[in-house]
Structure 1
Amino acid sequence: MSEVYFTPAEEIGPENTQVDQIVALFPKMSPVRKGDIVAIKIHPGEYGNTTYVRPIIVKTVVDMVKAAGGIPFVTDTTVLYRSRRFNAVEVIETAAANGFTHASMGAPIICADGLHGDDSVTVELGGERLKDITVASVIAAADSMIVISHCKGHPASGFGGAIKNLGMGCLDKAGKAKVHAPGIPEVDAEKCVGCGACVKYCPWDVINLESGKAIIDKSKCKGETACMTACKYAAIASPAGYFKPLQELLGEASMGPVKALGSRIGYINWIFDLTPGCDCFNFSAPVFAGDVGILASKDPVAIDKASIDLINKKMHNENSGTIDDVWGVDPVIHVDHAAKIGAGSLKYTLMQ
């Protein structure tokens, strides 16, 4: 049974701001020891997104790490798809555009998987689906880590929180590709008009036009389905039911950074601006539920399970269904697989 600490959004006020709440929660989940070099894992948001965790929250965590005797740096990794975060330079530039700078946070920002997203260490897992996974080298080399996650929906995992921040956000490109493998898309030749938009959009050069139709080289495809967005004719789609095996891989992959850091990780789930889509989207859609609050724990499985339960409770009170209804995807699948591989416990006590 793991402890999850919770401060409701309704308690926010002039004498109990989000900054005050982070300060109060930090000692209850902090793994930081004096002299630690501490990774603070965030998602700075894609350029155009406006609902990621705010820099002031990150600065507060930076200040608390320093007060505990740690040496903090803020970090994220590159992405698989064509965007303004495809390499380390773009990651840092996009973070700065969204307000995450040394000046705003009091700590430098480092891209954890190197210039091109291929700097990593292999961590043995022995899972049902994953023998091993490649964790971004800078994260694996840290003494301890604080993972700050914006809770929101996700089209493949149903929910994005601490486990997704570990099992996707802490990996290099090769690790991300392993998790995305079940989503390798297929082309419907009858719908394809041979416009070539997908060819231009794919950063891996795995799509070509033969006989006027798009063909995907599945042996080289990374499984990231941004090419589907590029197609105006709905000619590209992932296999039916791919989200289940992807979530199972995601859950197992979350154990990679946990093992690499010897479980010396603390977690903060920030449940505000509950958008349907990930912070990787270059826009922020209207929220699907009201603000819930801030959670903290030393257990990524427990904090995500508690977050999902609290979101569902909020949605029930608002007569808006459950988080499963947002994308038609059950998010507990990846939470359950993280628990099965030993990343944490589904059983928790909510402490207020």
Structure 2
Amino acid sequence: MSYVSCGSARAQSAEESLPLKAKRVLEDSGALDRLSRGDIALIKVHMGEKWGFRSLRPKLVRSLVEAIKDMAATPVVGDTTSISLRSNRGTAPGYLEVAWSNGFTPQVIGAPVVILDGLRGLHHVKLKAGRVLGEVEAAAGVLEADFILSVAHFKGHARTGIGGALKNVGVGCLSKTGKARVHLARKPWVKAELCDGCGKCISFCPAGAIELKGGKAEVSEERCLWGCGCWELCKAFSTWSEMHRSNKEMSMAVAEAAKAVLDEFRGKHGFVNYIVDVTLHCDCAPFSDIPATHDIGVVASRDPVAVDKASVDLVNSARAYSPLAESLKVAGPGADKFSALHIYPPTARFSEQGKPSWRTLLEYAEQIGLGSQSYSIAEIL
């Protein structure tokens, strides 16, 4: 049975404020027990999207930066680029602009803010993975750290049901190629009958994997880097839905990728989930809807499965004071707030690949040895 430390979002004094409480929760959890003096400690976060405002708040990260400094280690705050070179976070310069606009600067955070997979998100190291993935491409900058602390904003996710520690590592620690491998069952292709031979995709592809043959674009599977976003260029390309894995298989892929990355750290890892601003959509969304429940607090553990399971349990055991939860009929205590993802408009279309289920993610993660869904929990004041 794993140990999870938690702290409530309730506060009536400075010492009870969530950033300071989170530092005490982290220290009590044992998540920093394997951190050594002089280590470079990566604090892996998601720094939000351009117009979203309910993602992880910089002040909640700064107190954890200070906890690492207190142990004479060197904290670095970082994330990886998103799938597609055309997205706001698709390159390191683009993502840094988004991060700065959301307050993730060295001056606010108290540590360097870095992008971990290179200028275009293509710098990676191949790792062995499980039966779904076979192998996966981890961001090279992630693996250069001595210690990793996942700090996640806990929320819903259209594919995996939840976004917490497992997804922060199992997707967020990968290069573009790795992210594509986790999400997609196939590489992109061109539908010849829809291609007019304009050549736009040829100049776009950084790998030179697209050529004109007989006046039609054709993708070389061998040279394709898988993740750059050519499919967004025109209607002649395969769609995201046509390429995507089933949601069940993707959940399993996320768990396998997380294990591949964490195995590289040989136990030098910890996990923090902030259960505040719990939206049903993930932080990659270019907007922020109202939360599905009230703010609950923070949890921390050395076990990523336990910390995610505790987060689910705390959300689902709460009486949600939320018009959104009321409208989806999941407001009551004991109601699975994430069970409504298939009818929630921003995420419903992703149910083409199956109803998202956090249970699949956690059960498979436990099965492959990532951690335990059985935990004891203690509240830290």
TM-score category, normalised to shorter length: 0.7 to 0.9
Q: Is the 8 A contact 1:180 1:223 kept in 2?
A: no
Q: Is the 8 A contact 1:183 1:246 kept in 2?
A: no
Give the direction of change, closer, same or farther, for the CA distance of 1:187–1:134 in structure 2 (3 Å limit): closer
Partner of 2:346: none
Aligned residues: 343
Give the direction of change, closer, same or farther, for the CA distance of 1:138–1:228 in structure 2 (3 Å limit): closer
Tell me the CA shift for residue 109 of structure 1: 0.8
Instruction: Report the RMSD for the aligned CA atoms in angstroms.
Output: 3.4
Tell me the CA shift for residue 115 of structure 1: 1.3
| Matched residue type, 1:338 | A
CA distance in 2, matches of 1:3, 1:229: 48
User: Does 2:8 align with 1:8?
Assistant: yes
1:194-233 to 2 correspondence within 5 Å? 219=221, 220=224, 222=226
Tell me the CA shift for residue 38 of structure 1: 0.6
Partner of 1:276: 280
Large movers: runs of 4+ above 6 Å: 183-189, 202-208, 223-231
Partner of 2:332: 318
Per-residue deviation, residues 246-281 of structure 1 (Å, max 9, x unmatched):
111111111122111112111110111111211111
Q: Is the 8 A contact 1:113 1:120 kept in 2?
A: yes
Residue segments in structure 1 that go unaligned for 5+ positions in a row: 209-213
Partner of 1:341: 368
1:107-122 to 2 correspondence within 5 Å? 107-122=111-126
Q: Is the 8 A contact 1:121 1:136 kept in 2?
A: yes
Tell me the CA shift for residue 349 of structure 1: 1.2
| Matched residue type, 1:68 | M
Per-residue deviation, residues 273-293 of structure 1 (Å, max 9, x unmatched):
111211111111122222221
Give the direction of change, closer, same or farther, for the CA distance of 1:325–1:94 in structure 2 (3 Å limit): same
SS at match of 2:114: strand
Give the direction of change, closer, same or farther, for the CA distance of 1:168–1:85 in structure 2 (3 Å limit): same
| Matched residue type, 1:154 | H
CA distance in 2, matches of 1:63, 1:14: 20
Deviates more, 1:218-227 or 1:38-47: 218-227
CA distance in 1, matches of 2:116, 2:288: 25
SS at match of 2:377: strand
| Matched residue type, 2:132 | R
| Matched residue type, 2:341 | V
SS at match of 1:89: helix
Give the direction of change, closer, same or farther, for the CA distance of 1:226–1:297 in structure 2 (3 Å limit): farther
SS at match of 1:342: coil
Per-residue deviation, residues 264-323 of structure 1 (Å, max 9, x unmatched):
111110111111211111111122222221100001011111111221212566366531
Per-residue deviation, residues 172-224 of structure 1 (Å, max 9, x unmatched):
111111101238789999xx9x9x9x989x9789999xxxxx99959459479
Give the direction of change, closer, same or farther, for the CA distance of 1:184–1:69 in structure 2 (3 Å limit): same
Tell me the CA shift for residue 83 of structure 1: 1.4
Tell me the CA shift for residue 123 of structure 1: 2.2
SS at match of 1:159: strand
Q: Is the 8 A contact 2:26 2:301 kept in 1?
A: no
Partner of 1:330: 357
SS at match of 2:299: strand
Q: Is the 8 A contact 2:161 2:357 kept in 1?
A: yes
Residue segments in structure 2 that go unaligned for 5+ positions in a row: 321-329, 343-354
Tell me the CA shift for residue 132 of structure 1: 2.4
Q: Is the 8 A contact 2:156 2:278 kept in 1?
A: yes
| Matched residue type, 1:351 | A
CA distance in 2, matches of 1:305, 1:183: 31
Per-residue deviation, residues 109-128 of structure 1 (Å, max 9, x unmatched):
11111112122222223x22
Q: Normalising by the residue count of structure 2, what TM-score does the alignment of the two structures yield?
A: 0.79
Q: Is the 8 A contact 2:184 2:244 kept in 1?
A: no
CA distance in 1, matches of 2:141, 2:291: 34
Q: Normalising by the residue count of structure 1, what TM-score does the alignment of the two structures yield?
A: 0.85
User: Does 2:54 align with 1:51?
Assistant: yes
| Matched residue type, 2:312 | I
Give the direction of change, closer, same or farther, for the CA distance of 1:336–1:321 in structure 2 (3 Å limit): closer
Give the direction of change, closer, same or farther, for the CA distance of 1:344–1:317 in structure 2 (3 Å limit): same
CA distance in 1, matches of 2:41, 2:291: 32
Give the direction of change, closer, same or farther, for the CA distance of 1:138–1:216 in structure 2 (3 Å limit): same
Q: Is the 8 A contact 2:183 2:244 kept in 1?
A: no
Per-residue deviation, residues 146-187 of structure 1 (Å, max 9, x unmatched):
110001111111110000001000011111111012387899
